[in-house]
Amino acid sequence: MSHRVQIDTGTQELLAEIREQVAVITLNRPVVRNALSSRLSGALGKLINRCGEDPQIRAILITGAGTAFCAGGDVNGMSQTSTAAELTFDQRVSDLRHNQRAVWGALAGVRKPTVAAIPGAAAGAGLALALACDIRVAAQSAILITAYARVGLSGDCGITWLLTRLVGVSRARELMFLSERVDAGRAESLGLVNQSVPDAELQERAFALAAGLARGPTFAFGCIKNNLDHAVNADFLESMDYEAENLIRTELSLDHREGVRAFAEKRNPAFKGQ
């Protein structure tokens, strides 16, 4: 069994540990399908930033306790909250923008590989959380749903940006307008998830994937993420020019030297993430 180091998140609503240089983050409100409370969201944003800065962490795995990944915003909590009514429109917009950037923006901005292990429902903001990860592995019983239209909302947390780039404009509109439940098999065929696996194998398979990434060339992975992010809004020549800068940066890295030596010596490289 691999050595585990517990991370204090400041709340039992969010559990975290480090195994094999992977930060395993578990949303822990199973009674409400891991719906996002303000406490959980605040702790998650801080933890994502902490993982991004810690050199001992080289990959991040996010999952949910129980039979769900994340049901999105706490709708029951919304109906019981009175403080929002005391704020102006502009104040409410400002608060939402801040909260979105603190969690989903932080996750998308991490320059280390991120994996979502989806054991069950991923809805609304919870679906956006999974889509903001680099790779998604879903249990075969998992259900993905945008959910916003069902409660008369338009979407947040980057859901429309993420969907459009993952499945295209037409499918993104279908998923947002119809708000239908998408099973793991269809989610894989659409490109919403990368793999669907038997429920009993989900955590083991997702962790093995994250651990493999943690053994990889961390600096190069960061540059690859930069290249991919830049390519979204760049033309071909601009993209090549940007890639050239990062290629030279990685060419000067210790991991590249180790990769070349390992290739010549016909062995697996032992990357250090530098």
The model's pLDDT over 139-155, given as tens digits with 9 standing for 90+, comes to: 999 999 999 999 999 99
**Where residue 84 falls among pLDDT bands split at 50, 70, 90?**
low
Instruction: Identify the CATH class of 4-214.
Output: alpha beta
Tally Cβ neighbours within 10 Å of residue 39: 14
**Where residue 83 falls among pLDDT bands split at 50, 70, 90?**
low
Q: Count how many residues are written for the chain.
A: 274
Question: pLDDT (tens digit, 9 = 90+) per residue, 15-70?
Answer: 999 999 999 999 999 999 999 999 999 999 999 999 999 999 999 999 999 999 99
Q: What is the DSSP string of 133-175?
A: SSEEEEETT-EEE--GGGGT----TTHHHHHHHHH-HHHHHHH
Residue 274's pLDDT is: 83
- On whether the CB atoms of residues 129 and 157 are closer than 8 A, the answer is yes
Over pLDDT 70: what percentage of the chain? 96
So where are the chain's domains? 4-214, 218-264
236 pLDDT higher than 80: yes
Over pLDDT 90: what percentage of the chain? 93
Burial class (CB in 10 A: 0-12, 13-18, 19+), 186: middle
- On whether the CB atoms of residues 213 and 221 are closer than 8 A, the answer is yes
- On whether the CB atoms of residues 70 and 34 are closer than 8 A, the answer is yes
76 pLDDT higher than 70: no
| Encoded tokens for 219 | 């600096």
Alpha-carbon span 42 to 210, nearest angstrom: 24
Average pLDDT value for residue range 125-149? 98
191 pLDDT higher than 80: yes
Q: How large is the C-alpha radius of gyration of the chain?
A: 19
Average pLDDT value for residue range 131-135? 98
